[in-house]
Structure 1
Amino acid sequence: MKRLKSLMLLGVTIATLGLVTGCSGNSNNESSKDESQTRIVQSVKGEVEIPANPKRIVDISGSSEELALLGHTPVGTANVDSYETDKVPSYVQDKLGDAKVVGHSMMDTMDIEAILAAEPDLIIMAPRQEKIYDQLKEIAPVVMLEDRSNDWEAKLKDVAALFGQEEEAQKWLDNYYAKAEEIGKEIKEANGDQTYLTVLASSGQFMVFTEGGIGTVLKEDMKLPQPANMPEQDSITLPTVTMEGLTEIDADHIIVIATESDKADLKASTVWPQIRAVKEGNVTILDASPYFSQAYNPIGRELLLQSIKDEVVK
């Protein structure tokens, strides 16, 4: 009887192991099948076959924030701080901190060896890196996106289209614009009908964010008025004015993005204290790192909304 019970127990054990092994085998087959699936996407170079669900993306196009926002955190990135180009911007460290920095997205070449070491299953690049396209194709499938360096919204939509996430991106955009407009209303209620000027200090001169960067956050998204005497911007290049030029623009509130050196120049200047907004205490000075490039990317842009309110509402 004891032997019979032992044989029965052995039979049940074998059957159970077979069931577990069978389930495990199906799971592995499903996983393997999923990894082997591909799809065709459009790129600047035409149709490209990419993994259906890429797991190890290297992005050198400058679209890493868009990828992270949509749930595709890259293993390699060229989204770096404009002033500390060996690291990702501090405001997105929690989302991109584990990604290997392989270059600067605005440059035409990258660290090919670092890209190779990242073992990517998909590489995303921009036309400005055209000269390394053939090298990258030897490593993994490559998608070349349009250059949207001055159109953050179009860049987000391009990345979303690559993964079939257009609705998700649009929902995020709708929420962002609603939040921006609401915070803009709160600023106007607190400060009245002030005009706002945003500039980048640069060796005694100022690059004016007329139609780019942080200037569009205030003007287009938050609906805050600009001064009447704004210099025109007819290309991606920001117009430059002298300190006397700031006086002519005559904004109620000036937001200055500056390095420590440029801050020291402002402090030493005899003209700067004579500008009306400075006299009235309506000046906000933000660190060049990370604020200069923050507005060109979606996560950074959203974070700017509350930062701007906190600074300009006294």
Structure 2
Amino acid sequence: MKIKRPIKLFLLGIITIAFLWVSHIYLFANQQVQGGNNSASSQLPVATRVVKHALGETRIPVKPQRIIVLNDVGLLDPVLSLGVKPIGTVSYFPQYDFLFRGVTNEEAAGIEIVGDGNQPNLERVILLKPDLILMREYQKSFYKQLSAIAPTVVVDLPGLNYSFKENLRFIAQVLGESEKAEQVIARYYERVKKLQNLMGERLKKIEVSVINLFAESLIATYSDNETYNQVLQDIGIRLIPTLVNQKEDTLVSSMEVLNKYDADVLFVMNDTQQLTQAFFQNPLLTTLKAAQNKQVYGVRVDRWWTFGFLGVNKLLDDLFKYLT
């Protein structure tokens, strides 16, 4: 049966329209794939998994790409140690020549600062469009606001017994980098072993003391929770009994009791050169056996007050320098 000419034209027209419509859809999809943030690829489902943390459970991307960390010492340092670079972080020390503890300004180059750790700037956080936010337990008052911006995980140091190694392992588990964490920890123990070998018999003989210059007339000492104490324990370096028996997390004392903290080697943490200069000119220092044996060393807070492996390796650099 022959198809009449008008019907042929009608069918040809329908086929042509359908072809043009399919071509239009293909072209539009292709433009979207190449179109940046509005691309079709960005609309594809993202693989996720559930992470348990101090404030509950959070569904996060399996491989987060835009991470903001709201602490320097306990979050920024460990994340960078794993070879992951966040897009945003906070600083506590804009008045000093260092912005972060454990991490140099150069190591954090290119990371945007979104306020300080006690008051992160939520508007800046929103503008960065994170797909994961890491925060600390003391910042929990911001949790609800942050969770409305992006999946948010609380890293609870008390819950991790203040262990800088377990802190790294937890963060690595969140980021899917557990194997890398074990490599970082293994390299740390290799350096510890090397320092032990270099110290030899001296390791068994010396006692060490660590104080922090709290003010020109005040010193502070800290409990075993502090990372430098954990590192000294790993090496096998003995702290003086006064520090071992300290019950307070932080004890602030007058400079007049400096002799209580005398040792074979005295490390003096500081965050300003002025405090260091005043301390080394204090007549009380001359009464210490550490000073008489020229074994008093000023060390920087941003290298010793650390909770990640970038900082810990800087701390180890100082121990190699002063104890071998």
1:113 aligned to 106, 123, 128, which one? 123
The answer to whether structure 1 residue 162 and structure 2 residue 166 are counterparts is: no
Counterpart residue identity of residue 297, structure 1: G
- Secondary structure of the 1:162 match is helix
Task: Report the equivalent of 1:138.
Answer: 148
| Deviation of the 1:60 alpha carbon | 0.9
| TM-superposition CA deviations, 1:40-71 (whole Å, max 9, x none) | 22222322121222111111144122212223
- Secondary structure of the 1:234 match is coil
Q: How many residues align?
A: 287
| Deviation of the 1:232 alpha carbon | 2.6
Moved more, 173-182 or 250-259: 173-182
| Deviation of the 1:144 alpha carbon | 2.0
Q: Which runs of 5+ in 1 are unaligned?
A: 1-20
Q: Which runs of 5+ in 2 are unaligned?
A: 1-28
Asked if structure 1 preserves the Cα contact closer than 8 Å seen for 2:240 and 2:263, the reply is yes
- Larger-Rg structure: 2
Which structure carries more relative contact order (alpha carbon 8 Å, separation 6+)?
2
The change in CA–CA distance for 1:198 and 1:311 in structure 2 (over 3 A counts) is same
Q: CA RMSD in A?
A: 3.3
1:282 aligned to 295, 301, 315, which one? 295
CA separation in 2, counterparts of 1:243 and 1:270? Answer: 11
CA separation in 2, counterparts of 1:302 and 1:35? Answer: 40
CA separation in 1, counterparts of 2:83 and 2:45? Answer: 18
The answer to whether structure 1 residue 122 and structure 2 residue 151 are counterparts is: no
Asked if structure 2 preserves the Cα contact closer than 8 Å seen for 1:43 and 1:143, the reply is yes
Asked if structure 1 preserves the Cα contact closer than 8 Å seen for 2:102 and 2:307, the reply is no
The change in CA–CA distance for 1:157 and 1:233 in structure 2 (over 3 A counts) is farther
Asked if structure 1 preserves the Cα contact closer than 8 Å seen for 2:196 and 2:203, the reply is no
Task: Report the equivalent of 1:74.
Answer: 86
- With the length of structure 1 as denominator, give the TM-score of the two structures: 0.78
Task: Report the equivalent of 2:19.
Answer: none
Asked if structure 2 preserves the Cα contact closer than 8 Å seen for 1:181 and 1:221, the reply is no
> 1:1-314 to 2 correspondence within 5 Å?
36-61=46-71, 62-78=74-90, 80-81=92-93, 84=96, 87-89=99-101, 91-105=103-117, 107=118, 109-148=119-158, 150-189=162-201, 193-203=205-215, 204-213=217-226, 215-230=228-243, 232-235=245-248, 237-258=249-270, 259-288=272-301, 290-293=302-305, 295-313=306-324
| TM-superposition CA deviations, 1:9-49 (whole Å, max 9, x none) | xxxxxxxxxxxx99xx8xx9996587622222222232212
CA separation in 2, counterparts of 1:191 and 1:231? Answer: 17
